[in-house]
Amino acid sequence: MRFVLRQPLCINEIGSRPNQEDSVYPAPGIANVSTRLFMVCDGMGGHQNGEVASSTVCGSLPEFIRENIYADEPLTEELFDKALDYAYHCLDSADTSGADDKKMGTTMTFVCFHAGGCMAAHIGDSRIYHFRPSENPSESKILYKSRDHSLLNDLVKLGEISEEEAAASSSKNVITRCMMPKQDNPSPADIVNITNIRGGDYFFLCSDGILENFDDNKLLQLICSDNLDEEKIEILRELTLGNKDNHSAYLIPIEEVIYDNGEQIKEEEIKEEEIKEEEIKGDEIPSDSLLTSNVVETAESAISQSDASATVQSETSSTGQSGASYSVIDQSEVSSSDSSSSKRRKIPAWLIFLLLVIAIVVVGLLYQSSCQSKDQPATPQAIEEFDGPKAKMVE
């Protein structure tokens, strides 16, 4: 599988912040139709050296992959995990903070087009979208959207709050995963390899700053509109000019997909097929973190007060201008405070099967016993007992 791209387009704006903590790969103005790897990272607002963290990850992870893969090879999850480990190692080396200082951090989104499809990976609340436009605008689709590693999103998934309540909450910056240096248990990435790709599709990576005034429907309408790609990115730039936060994005248009047999598959030659949800590695909420009621209480406490169980630091410029604050839930503290989480483990499949067999045997024995009792001739005493009530009813 080979991909022909149109010119990728980038936004990397500072917003009203005193400094730019977002980083993109390739740097603005560098990407071209031959580029196959893209990243957007959002340095942790309120944490020292957020721009160092985002630029370190945006530089080290692609560097490792470029040096360890050939152009005609598929990118494996094993290789990506090694690249992620290398990025964490580089973060450790770049960290100059003391033991008691707040750690720098960054989110991470990653898209790479390779011989086996398109690998998408993310950590944090920066997003990846896969759009498919249609001649009928009402049939345009979001085929893939990464799941935010945020407290609100986890509470929605657990049924504690509704999506509407999450959208209206002022605690959108409480995240449950990010890349930080010198962690005993570094946050893993959710990984998906997408193969259902056609000419005309778009991939879109963005930091959460882009989404201040955009929801999924607005993005879908813009990206799948009839405007030229350059016009789409300019409209997006204009509509986000007033955003407070740093905001960055990459728009990647797919011109066509060429398969290994050399046959070029065009959009009109592909029959409409059911879009199945991609299998995502690492997309479940850990059973030892956010599944129990005790942890939900801890999470709600992180929303209501910034010093409860979250690491919070507001970035302030030299002129006293306050920036957005992020909260990072300490997963190790949360899991250690709840010893009952092990009770919520899934029942093994073999045990379910054994219980089913036992139930079938018991039902069979009961049915056989019932049949035997019906086949026995009625005794005079039984007839008398039966006719007695009937006679009394006649009287």
Domains of the chain (ranges; CATH) run 2-342 (3.60.40.10), 348-394 (no CATH)
Could you give phi then psi for residue 198, rounded to 5 degrees? Answer: -130, 160
Place of tokens 């930091």: 207
The encoded tokens of residue 316 equal 């302030």
Q: How many CB atoms lie within 10 A of CB 5?
A: 18
Residue whose C-alpha is closest to residue 190's, from 145, 253, 131, 140: 145
Total residue count of the chain as it appears in this document: 395
Q: Spell out the per-residue pLDDT of the chain, length 395, in tens.
A: 899 999 999 999 988 888 889 999 999 999 999 999 999 999 986 556 899 999 999 999 999 999 998 878 899 999 999 999 999 999 999 988 776 677 899 999 999 999 999 999 999 999 999 999 999 989 999 999 999 999 988 898 888 888 888 877 877 778 999 999 999 999 999 999 999 999 999 999 999 999 888 889 999 999 999 999 999 999 999 999 888 889 999 999 999 999 876 555 544 444 433 334 444 455 554 443 333 344 445 455 554 543 333 333 333 333 333 344 556 665 444 334 333 333 334 566 767 778 888 888 887 787 776 666 555 554 444 434 444 444 333 33
Cβ–Cβ < 8 Å for 296, 17: no
Strand segments, DSSP code E, in the chain are 2-5, 9-13, 22-25, 37-42, 108-114, 117-123, 127-132, 141-145, 174-175, 190-194, 202-206, 247-258, 264-265, 310-316, 322-329
Cβ–Cβ < 8 Å for 52, 94: yes
Q: Which residues contact 165 (CB under 8 A, 6 or more apart)?
A: none
Cis peptide bond upstream of 28, omega within 30:
no
Place of tokens 């944090």: 124
Longest dimension (CA), the chain: 105
pLDDT at residue 333, rounded to an integer: 45
Could you give phi then psi for residue 74, rounded to 5 degrees? Answer: -75, 150
pLDDT at residue 251, rounded to an integer: 98
pLDDT at residue 51, rounded to an integer: 93
Cβ–Cβ < 8 Å for 129, 219: yes
Q: In 3-state terms, what secondary structure has residue 370? A: helix
d(CA 385, CA 387): 6
